[in-house]
């Protein structure tokens, strides 16, 4: 399920349980809250801080930036966490954009 599907499912469940006693404005506020919770819970909340390692991103040998995890580094350059981890482990350059990565 994607974020929209999860939030809409929650809103529909709330409506059923409460016999439609919420106004549309209240449901919009609740929906906004669940969008925020979903983003935090699925993007950050599931990761344990102790398992994250900062990743430094290089392009053509020049340091571009530092991200707090392989997931964040992958999102930044548009590749998967697995591709970032593999590039770090093997010391290889990515096919997409000539990026290299190193753990800080």
CATH number of the domain that residue 94 is part of: 1.10.10.10
pLDDT at 19: 67
Q: Are 98 and 57 part of one and the same domain? A: yes
Q: Are 60 and 76 part of one and the same domain? A: yes
Domain count, the chain: 2
Closest CA to 87 of 72, 97, 102, 75: 102
pLDDT at 27: 76
pLDDT at 18: 64
Predicted model pTM: 0.52
Q: Going from the first residue of the chain to its last (104 residues), give the mean pLDDT of each consecutive group of 10, the final group possibly shorter.
A: 72 71 78 70 52 87 91 89 90 86 91
Q: Are 35 and 54 part of one and the same domain? A: no
pLDDT at 20: 64
Tokens of 49: 């801080």
Range of the domain at 21: 3-45
Q: How many CB atoms lie within 10 A of CB 49?
A: 8
Q: Are 92 and 56 part of one and the same domain? A: yes
């Amino acid at each position: 399920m994607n974020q929209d599907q999860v939030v809409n499912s929650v809103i529909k469940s709330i409506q059923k349980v409460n016999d439609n006693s919420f106004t549309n404005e209240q449901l919009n506020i609740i929906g906004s809250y669940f969008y925020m919770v979903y983003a935090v819970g699925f993007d950050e909340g599931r990761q344990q801080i102790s398992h994250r390692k900062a990743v430094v991103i290089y392009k053509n040998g020049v340091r571009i930036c530092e991200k707090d995890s392989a997931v964040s580094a992958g999102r930044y350059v548009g590749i998967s966490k697995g591709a970032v981890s593999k590039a770090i482990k093997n010391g290889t350059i990515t096919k997409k954009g000539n990026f290299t990565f190193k753990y800080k």
